[in-house]
Structure 1
Amino acid sequence: MMKNPIIGRVWKFGDDVDTDVIIPGKYLRTKDMQVFAAHAMEGIDPEFAKKVKPGDIIVAGSNFGCGSSREQAPLALKHAGIACIVARSFARIFFRNAINVGLPLIEADIECQEGDEIKVDLLKGEVTVSGKTTYEGNKLPDFLLQILADGGLVAHRKKIQIEQRE
């Protein structure tokens, strides 16, 4: 289920992007993923959800996903079409929530511009910008890569249960 490498167009954000701007609290009363997608990143860019295309990639600075522990933040990005997030660092709860919902991410300090095309190779832990410069990132451990490959934690656990029954 996890595509590798992931190639997409960059949306660039800075440091300390918190979960309140990723999906504002007023939209948390629903479980409708289309509502989350329609309001993704609204707190920073009200037009983001209209402009983002499936397969796009977010590149951010440090502490991406800080703030509350809401699982809806990575869900909003995933359902808006974001294929991967590259950041210098992630808030730990956001990092784990993204893995749990099957949204690939990698910690890497890269230089790029909004609109650039980048290639994220999760298996190697590398990010290549515009086919020219390759940056070394923090490679995810194999068990996290497997969770992502299975489509998230729930799908991963179901797969294990099926395998154990066979």
Structure 2
Amino acid sequence: MTKTLKGRVMVFGDNIDTDMITPGRYLELSKPEEIAAVAMAGLDPDFPKKVKKGDIIIGGKNFGCGSSREHGVIAFKANGVQAIVAKSIAKIYYRNAIVSGLMVLISEEAHTIFENYQHCEIDLENGNIINTDTGKSVKCEKLSTEDIAIWEAGGMVTEYKRKAQEINRNSK
């Protein structure tokens, strides 16, 4: 069965750092809904009003650069963003996203075929991204089977609990 994501896109440029996603002055916030309310405050304070559940963020190069704070991932997840697709993603941001169950994909060209609020379809197994409004398509890197399982579980903690339960059932 093909794993496919469909959603509306919001497009951002290069070097979207964690201070743009969740400025340092909000690091005392700990509840996901509080963090969601200040998402992208360093770049677009109206982002929480514009974003819709199921949206897909399209970025340029160096997305998520800056500090290793998890708030940058929580801000998008709590707003219902289902995936981030960028030309490149900072390694620590990438890992934080996977661990938290936020889909992140690398695509050299996705940012060139989308404008804000167009619609996207992503075939995870074959690494295809399609702008369903224009018909244009580009490739993205495929995720490992393990990363897809973690994402499907909603994050690493949930996936490890599932694996532990499976081991316990099989050892009886």
TM-score, with length taken from structure 1: 0.95
Larger deviation, residues 48-57 vs 131-140: 131-140
Separation of aligned partners in 1, 2:127 and 2:157: 24
**For residue 139 of structure 2, what is the aligned residue in structure 1?**
136
**For residue 18 of structure 1, what is the aligned residue in structure 2?**
17
Letter of the 1:101 counterpart = S
Give 1:117 deviation, angstroms. 0.4
Secondary structure of the residue aligned to 1:112 is coil
Separation of aligned partners in 2, 1:126 and 1:150: 22
Give yes or no for the alignment of 1:148 onto 2:151.
yes
Give yes or no for the alignment of 1:77 onto 2:76.
yes
Aligned positions of 1:36-51 closer than 5 A: 36-51=35-50
Give 1:51 deviation, angstroms. 1.1
Give 1:157 deviation, angstroms. 0.8
Separation of aligned partners in 1, 2:122 and 2:27: 30
CA 67–122 in structure 1, closer or farther in 2 if over 3 Å, else same: same
TM-score, with length taken from structure 2: 0.91
Secondary structure of the residue aligned to 2:142 is coil
Secondary structure of the residue aligned to 1:115 is coil
Secondary structure of the residue aligned to 1:58 is strand
**Ranges in structure 1 where 5+ consecutive residues have no aligned partner:** none
The structure with the largest alpha-carbon Rg is 2
Give 1:81 deviation, angstroms. 1.4
Contact 1:106-1:122 at 8 Å conserved across structures: no
Aligned positions of 1:105-120 closer than 5 A: 105-108=104-107, 109-110=109-110, 111-120=113-122
**For residue 129 of structure 2, what is the aligned residue in structure 1?**
127
